[in-house]
Amino acid sequence: MNWEKIGDFLLSFKKKSIYLGMFILVSIPLIMKMSTRTYITEEVESIYDKVEEVYEYNQENPNDKQAIFVSIDFAPSSKAETSPMLNALLRHAFMRDIPVLGWAGVRTAADYGIERLNSVAKEYGKKYGEDYIYLGIAYPFLQAVLSLNSDVRIFSSTDYYGTDTYEIPIMKQFHSYNNIGLLVSISSTSLSELYIQYSNTLFDQDVAAGVTAVNAARLYPYLQSDQLVGMMGGLKGAAEYEQLVNKLEKKVIGEDVKNYLREFYKKKDPSEYEKKYYEPKFTETQLINKMNSRKLARMGMSSQAVAHFYVIILIIIANVGYFIKRKYE
Amino acid sequence: MGTILWSTFAVFLTLSIFSFLIKDNPFYKFAEHLFAGISVGYLVVITFTQIFIPRVWKPLMNSIDTGNILRSAFLIIGVFIGLLYLSRASNKYSWLSRYPISIVVGFGSGFAIAPSLNARVLKQLHSTVVEDGQSLLNIQKIIAFFRDPSFSSLYNATYGPLLVIGVLVVLIYFFFSFKNDNPVIKYTRTPALLYMMVGFGAAFGYTFMARISLFVDRMNFILNRWWPLIQNKLM
């Protein structure tokens, strides 16, 4: 057997054919709409548990509720990982009737943030200004974070739509850390660390993070020191949270979510909802997209798994080729 | 029709960017320039509509209307100091930009020192040796492993010591990076390198996952959002 030729062959794969292989392998699970079940890690489950804790507190104290503050700190360019996290978290909060306050930590998230909030709020019939609010860009960031300790309305005098924050009903009760049960930074930047540094360290606010995989390794030390309640790291973390929320949704809404959404606004008076925020009805395309968004991260994880195996096999092939070539050269 | 048009344009741009994998070409260049241009334009508009108008213009107009002179003066002085940044365009007056820079840097660093030290050094230092009120070098956990050997008791027994030893050897590696024949320094180099390789490996694995996620998202857009739209239109 000509080992040298075999070694040469193993090292001769062209870059283009490797990319083509990746393209085909990643596409197959997406075409087949395969969504994998994933195991739940402690760091993701603790965010879920904390949200449930806020829900239980609100049930016991209806006159002194707590809200969840969501900081949208990512540009649309990294939405592949962060958007499923944001969707799952918002679905969890709205499903549990927890008030949601949000802002954009980075300027590029300003419009995307409100689009996501309105879109998920529509699934549960939540009303802007009563059940959720979006304060626009938190700029300058440090001053914005500090203002949450006293009264954020002084800093954010208007919301995203330009309405005076003193006139918005939800802001009357929820305007400082006192009524925020959990602050979640969904981030592709280092802003999560700043929330740890200021909100957690200075004001003892419970902080959780949903970060892109690139940033995940950097935040693990904060989990160990309990400075972070929990963390969703990359698409895997998003898939875990998505799985937990889907399970809850089946319990709260039932198995046929699509039909539930289809019928939701038929029983309601459309004049109750302002069209500025969302149209109180679902088209068939929207329903398909809503159902797809419920398994977005898990579908992505199927392709991830295939891509990872592919790369591992390529690494093994290249190493075998390298050692054969070195031995017989 | 608008949705199909814009979605098709998005697919075209995605494929144009991916075409760089074959080689640099005009489609890639077009998509790249368009992205850079739109990003800058978007940031300018968003800064004006979401920062300047609600944070400066509206409060200023309100305070003038209500006769709140102190607040108006406060805002005007703030804007004036901010505008001094623009003096960098002139060689003669660029020194004026040092005022806003000194305020921003002075406040930022002055305010950040204490919480940063607390969050990134003191709390981390504490959690390197203590967890849940117990020492990480807990001999009881090692004894428990020998009494009842199992995977979980092994994890509990080794997790703490491995963390503490890891921190120490890596710190020694960086503090004594020069040639040194001291046995402590000499024999901790390889374990320190191993720890760092594990850390870099985890970071690389995560980075790989992040990059593949971006690719998966674009493929998902093409296959599960754009293609069904086209199918519906054609059928």
* pLDDT, tens digit, 9 for 90 and up, residues A34-45: 888 889 999 999
Residue B69, in any domain of the structure: no
Chosen from B20, B35, B75, B212 to mutate, greatest number of chain A CBs within 10 A: B212
**Using CA atoms, how far apart are residues B128 and A224, in angstroms rounded to an integer?**
9
**Using CA atoms, how far apart are residues B141 and B154, in angstroms rounded to an integer?**
9
Cβ contact B127–A78 (<8 Å): no
Residue B62, in any domain of the structure: no
Torsion angle of alpha carbons B198, B200, B206, B211, nearest 10°? Answer: -150
pLDDT at B177: 80
Residue A211 has pLDDT above 80, yes or no: yes
Q: SS in 3 state form for B59-77?
A: HHHHHHHCCCHHHHHHHHH
Residue A12 has pLDDT above 90, yes or no: no
Q: With H, G, I as helix, E, B as strand and everything else as coil, classify residue A164.
A: strand
Of B112, B106, B101, the C-alpha closest to A201 is B112
- What is the DSSP track for A67-88? EEEEEEE--GGGHHHHHHHHHH
**Using CA atoms, how far apart are residues A32 and B61, in angstroms rounded to an integer?**
57
E runs forming strands in chain B? 130-131, 134-135
Over range A288-314, report the average pLDDT.
91
Cβ contact A16–B21 (<8 Å): yes
CB neighbours (10 Å) of residue B117?
13
Residue A194 has pLDDT above 80, yes or no: yes
Residue A329 has pLDDT above 80, yes or no: no
Touching B: A residues 200-239, CB under 8 Å? 200-202, 212-214, 216-218, 221, 224-227, 233-236
Partner-chain residue, chosen from B21, B108, B212, that has the shortest CB–CB distance to A142: B108
Predicted-complex ipTM score: 0.88
At A71, give phi and psi (nearest 5°): -105, 115
Strands B130-131 and B134-135: antiparallel
B40 touches chain A (CB under 8 A): no
Cβ contact A80–B217 (<8 Å): yes
Over range A48-73, report the average pLDDT.
96
Residue B2 has pLDDT above 80, yes or no: no
Given pLDDT bands bounded at 50, 70 and 90, which one contains residue A76?
confident
Of B55, B56, B13, the C-alpha closest to B37 is B13
What CATH number is given for A42-287 in this structure? 3.40.50
Cβ contact B124–A142 (<8 Å): no
pLDDT at A248: 96
Cβ contact B119–A304 (<8 Å): no
Residue B163, in any domain of the structure: yes
Cβ contact B54–A111 (<8 Å): no
pLDDT, one tens digit per residue, over B107-132 is: 888 888 999 999 999 999 998 888 87
Residue B12, in any domain of the structure: no
Q: With H, G, I as helix, E, B as strand and everything else as coil, classify residue A231.
A: strand
Touching A: B residues 198-217, CB under 8 Å? 199, 202-203, 206-210, 212-217
A116 burial via Cβ count (<10 Å: 0-12, 13-18, 19+): buried
Residue B81, in any domain of the structure: no
E runs forming strands in A86-129? 100-104
The mean pLDDT value of chain B amounts to: 91
Over range B4-12, report the average pLDDT.
93
pLDDT at B181: 82
The mean pLDDT value of chain A amounts to: 92
Assigned token pair, A37: 């079940």
CB A75 within 8 A of CB A108: yes
Over range A189-204, report the average pLDDT.
94
Q: Which residues contact A169 (CB under 8 A, 6 or more apart)?
A: A129, A130
Cβ contact B119–A108 (<8 Å): no
For chain B, the domain total comes to: 1
Cβ contact A214–B116 (<8 Å): no
Say which range, A23-27, A150-154, A323-327, has the weakest mean pLDDT: A323-327
pTM, 2 dp? 0.91
**Using CA atoms, how far apart are residues B168 and B166, in angstroms rounded to an integer?**
5
Over range B150-179, report the average pLDDT.
89
pLDDT at A207: 97
Q: Which residues contact A11 (CB under 8 A, 6 or more apart)?
A: A318, A321, A322, A325
Name the one residue in this structure whose structure tokens are 């579908």.
Answer: A299
Cβ contact A202–B115 (<8 Å): yes
Of A238, A196, A233, the C-alpha closest to A215 is A233
pLDDT at A165: 93
Given pLDDT bands bounded at 50, 70 and 90, which one contains residue A230?
very high
Residue A62 has pLDDT above 70, yes or no: yes
CB B157 within 8 A of CB B137: no
Residue type, B195: Y
CB A43 within 8 A of CB A223: yes
Over range B45-74, report the average pLDDT.
91
Given pLDDT bands bounded at 50, 70 and 90, which one contains residue B1?
low
Of A35, A290, A59, A83, the C-alpha closest to A187 is A83
Indicate the helix (H) or strand (E) that contains A293.
helix A284-293
Domain that holds residue B140: 135-235
Residue B208, in any domain of the structure: yes
**Using CA atoms, how far apart are residues A102 and A128, in angstroms rounded to an integer?**
11
Over range A272-292, report the average pLDDT.
89
Chosen from A232, A303, A310 to mutate, greatest number of chain B CBs within 10 A: A303
- CA distances from residue A211 to A186, A187, A188, A214, B205 in whole angstroms, order as listed: 6, 5, 6, 8, 15
In chain B, count of helices (H) and strands (E)? 10, 2
pLDDT at B156: 85
Residue B186, in any domain of the structure: yes
Could you report how far apart the first and last alpha carbons of chain B are, in Å?
Answer: 15
- Which sign does the torsion angle of CA A88, A90, A93, A96 carry? negative
Residue A223 has pLDDT above 70, yes or no: yes
Q: In Å, how far from its chain's centre is CA A236?
A: 11
Residues in chain A, overall count: 329
Partner-chain residue, chosen from A217, A226, A227, that has the shortest CB–CB distance to B202: A217
**Chain A residue nearest residue B127, CA to CA:** A225
Cβ contact B51–A139 (<8 Å): yes
Say whether the peptide bond before residue B183 is cis (omega within 30 degrees of 0).
no
Touching A: B residues 70-109, CB under 8 Å? 108
